[in-house]
């Protein structure tokens, strides 16, 4: 089925970007005024250590600049994602990127200057000037990163090269979402389908195995045609990160990426180690899926299909909203009121349209405007789950913005997926109380296990792949599309027990890494896994606890960047430096499988 043009979709199902700026002209006017505002930064050069008041004035001015730049950027980005084929909208995003580069260049003096201020003087400034409290995290990060902050000239040079860093990601997005040719297949019912990303996600979940197989080979072999192109784009992306890490004297890109939020690299390594240690639990899930599907051999193209035949949970968008409203009741009236605004006041772009960005996300960076949600809703239970997932992000952003100053409102990526996967667990718990039919209940329990598969195991598999490809470049070795496919294929076969006959992996799926845009967000994906582990524990505490436990969770949502993420989670009752949260998640996964086997 061909996708609709955006003009064919009713306004109520499209987000309203004009809540950010009333008109395109207002956005353009605000953009035009930024250069003059950025130029004013020069008045602080050479003076930041002169007094507490001067340092506070500088921070407050840059904070306002950051706020307005974010507003400009998000407006342009949302409009671009409505139709990635619209070159005018894409050009606007480039204009904002250039402003950011100019900003980085002019403000390059700041970190070296602040670094040169003695720690004792910084502490004295903070005691003298209450306004600096809003910037305590930024000051602490600068002080901790002293050895990685370069001279003013070197920082200026790196700032001038920053605009080059987004090129691989931008080229990937344009090609994979808008310009890449898609294969067409004919389904068993005679319907002809163009296998773009959205349609592939539907067909791979089909109950008709022949359709899944046909779509699987057509889709991945089409990606395989461009293996060299995707390889060069990823190579450029990785090398840009390695260059930055070496220039700043980090031992690795991983160390550089985790340093900002004070996360030990051991947390990353322990995640991979713990998941590999528990692959037998994952294989148990895969064998259970094979048993339920009644097939002799489980293959990779079977994984998204319904485990229980003739049971398909489908919900139109209005039904989905009702389920969401009911699922979030344990979080209280205030949470529900804000969520209702998101569902009814055009915060959400609901349906796929031609050229629209694939996937789903929540964008909550604009401080004095509500968050936005992008969906590509297709009516499956997975889509309902995606809605409540992204609403979790939106509520996290809303609570942080309304409880923290702008400088402390942007929570770290490390905790970003906690609120979203927490909400998914709420939905699953609700559905288990609603369903009485045995097969339907088994189907939902398998859907819950799919969450463990897709978030804990799959994202850790991605994290391991990301670590390996960085190691190659950091060792000075070549990285090509073919090499990336070999690395990815080997890790994939290990996770899915290919050599043990658990789930067979066909050669063409080795290119799947090229399908994952998150690899361009360096060392991002592992946080899906750590957040998922944390959210499973938190949801259990809230559901089985008291109003005080709920309020403590809401304080977690409100914390923003007021502390480092490990400490924010500790305040919520979860210690991610230990294996306990991970062990509890595996126990819950096994308990769900026990329940399914009992029903069988």
Annotated catalytic residues are 390
121-160 CB burial, b ≥16 within 10 A, e <16: ebeebbeebeebebbebbbebbeebeebbbebeebbebbe
Nearest to 444 by CA among 431, 434, 456: 431
Give every strand in the sheet of 361-363, ordered side by side.
Answer: 348-349, 372-374, 361-363
What does the alpha-carbon distance between residue 333 and residue 354 come to, in Å, rounded to a whole number? 38
* Phi and psi, residue 373, nearest 5°: -125, 130
List, in sequence order, every residue forming a beta bridge with 72; answer none if it has no partner.
Answer: none
What does the alpha-carbon distance between residue 178 and residue 357 come to, in Å, rounded to a whole number? 8
Angle at 390 (CA atoms; ends 559, 84), nearest 5 degrees: 120
What does the alpha-carbon distance between residue 498 and residue 78 come to, in Å, rounded to a whole number? 41
Helix (H, G, I), strand (E, B) or coil at 23: coil
363 DSSP 8-state letter:
E
Angle between helices 438-451 and 413-434 (to 10 degrees): 170
Residue 534 vs residues 120, 217, 425, 573, 583: alpha-carbon distances, Å: 37, 36, 12, 9, 11
> Residues with Cβ < 8 Å from 256, sequence gap 6 or more?
148, 241, 244, 245, 248, 250
Contacts by 564-567 with C-beta closer than 8 Å and gap 24+? 564/137, 564/261, 564/262, 564/263, 564/412, 565/261, 565/263, 565/411, 565/412, 565/414, 565/415, 566/261, 566/262, 566/263, 566/267, 566/414
Widest CA span of the chain, in angstroms?
Answer: 76
What does the alpha-carbon distance between residue 64 and residue 106 come to, in Å, rounded to a whole number? 16
Residues 396, 400, 406, 408, Cα dihedral to 10°: -100
Centre a 10 Å sphere on the Cβ of residue 472 and count the other Cβ atoms it contains.
17
Nearest to 63 by CA among 163, 133, 154: 133
Burial tier of 357 (Cβ tally within 10 Å: 0-12, 13-18, 19+) = buried
List, in sequence order, every residue forming a beta bridge with 380; answer none if it has no partner.
Answer: 314
50 DSSP 8-state letter:
S
């Amino acid at each position: 089925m061909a996708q609709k043009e955006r003009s064919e979709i009713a306004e109520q199902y499209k987000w309203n970007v004009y809540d950010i700026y009333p008109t395109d002209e207002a956005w353009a006017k605000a953009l035009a005024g930024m250069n003059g505002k950025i130029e004013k930064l020069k008045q602080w050069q050479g003076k930041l250590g002169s007094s507490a008041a001067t340092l506070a004035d500088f921070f407050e001015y840059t904070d306002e600049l950051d706020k307005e730049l974010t507003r400009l950027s998000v407006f342009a980005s949302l409009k671009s994602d409505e139709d990635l084929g619209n070159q005018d909208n894409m050009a606007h995003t480039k204009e904002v990127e250039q402003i950011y580069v100019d900003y980085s260049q002019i403000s390059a003096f700041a970190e070296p200057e602040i670094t040169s201020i003695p720690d004792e003087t910084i502490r004295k400034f903070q005691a003298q000037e209450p306004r600096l409290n809003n910037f305590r995290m930024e000051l602490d990060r600068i002080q901790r990163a002293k050895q990685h902050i370069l001279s003013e000239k070197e920082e200026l040079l790196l700032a001038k090269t920053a605009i080059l860093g987004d090129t691989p990601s931008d080229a990937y997005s344009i090609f994979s979402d808008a310009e890449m040719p898609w294969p067409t297949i004919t389904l068993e019912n005679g319907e002809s389908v163009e296998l773009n990303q959205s349609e592939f996600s539907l067909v791979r979940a089909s109950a008709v195995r022949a359709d899944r197989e046909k779509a699987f080979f057509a889709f991945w072999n089409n990606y395989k045609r461009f293996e060299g192109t995707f390889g060069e784009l990823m190579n450029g992306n990785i090398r840009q990160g390695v260059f930055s890490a070496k220039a700043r004297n980090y031992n690795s890109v991983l160390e550089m990426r985790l340093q900002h939020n004070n996360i030990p690299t051991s947390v990353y390594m322990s995640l991979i180690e713990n998941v590999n240690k528990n692959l037998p639990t994952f294989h148990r899930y895969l064998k259970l899926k094979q048993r339920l599907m009644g097939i002799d051999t489980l293959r990779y193209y079977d994984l998204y299909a319904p485990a229980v035949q003739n049971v398909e949970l489908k919900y139109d968008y209005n039904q989905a909203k009702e389920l969401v409203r009911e699922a979030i009741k344990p979080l209280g009236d205030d949470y529900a009121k804000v969520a209702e605004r998101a569902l009814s006041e055009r915060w959400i772009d609901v349906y796929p349209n031609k050229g629209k960005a694939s996937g789903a996300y929540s964008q909550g960076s604009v401080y004095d405007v509500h968050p936005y949600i992008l969906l590509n809703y297709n009516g499956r239970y997975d889509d309902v789950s995606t809605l409540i997932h992204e609403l979790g992000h939106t509520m996290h952003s809303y609570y942080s913005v309304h409880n923290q100053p702008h400088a402390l409102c942007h929570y770290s990526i490390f905790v970003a997926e906690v609120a979203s996967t927490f909400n998914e667990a709420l939905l699953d718990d609700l559905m288990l109380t609603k369903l009485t039919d045995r097969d339907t209940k088994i189907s939902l329990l398998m859907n819950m296990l799919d969450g463990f598969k897709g978030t804990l195991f799959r994202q850790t598999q991605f994290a391991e792949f990301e670590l390996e490809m960085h190691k190659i470049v950091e060792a000075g070795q070549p990285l090509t599309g073919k090499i990336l496919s070999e690395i990815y294929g080997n890790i994939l076969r290990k996770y899915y027990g290919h050599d043990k006959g658990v789930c067979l992996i066909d050669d063409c799926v080795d290119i799947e890494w090229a399908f994952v845009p998150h690899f361009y967000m360096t060392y991002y994906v592992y946080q899906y896994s750590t957040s998922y582990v944390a959210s499973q524990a938190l949801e259990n505490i809230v559901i089985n606890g008291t109003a005080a436990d709920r309020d403590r969770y809401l304080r977690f949502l409100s914390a923003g960047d007021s502390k480092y993420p490990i400490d924010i989670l500790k305040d919520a009752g979860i210690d991610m430096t230990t294996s306990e949260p991970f062990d509890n998640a595996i126990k819950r996964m096994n308990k769900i499988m026990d329940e399914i086997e009992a029903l069988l």
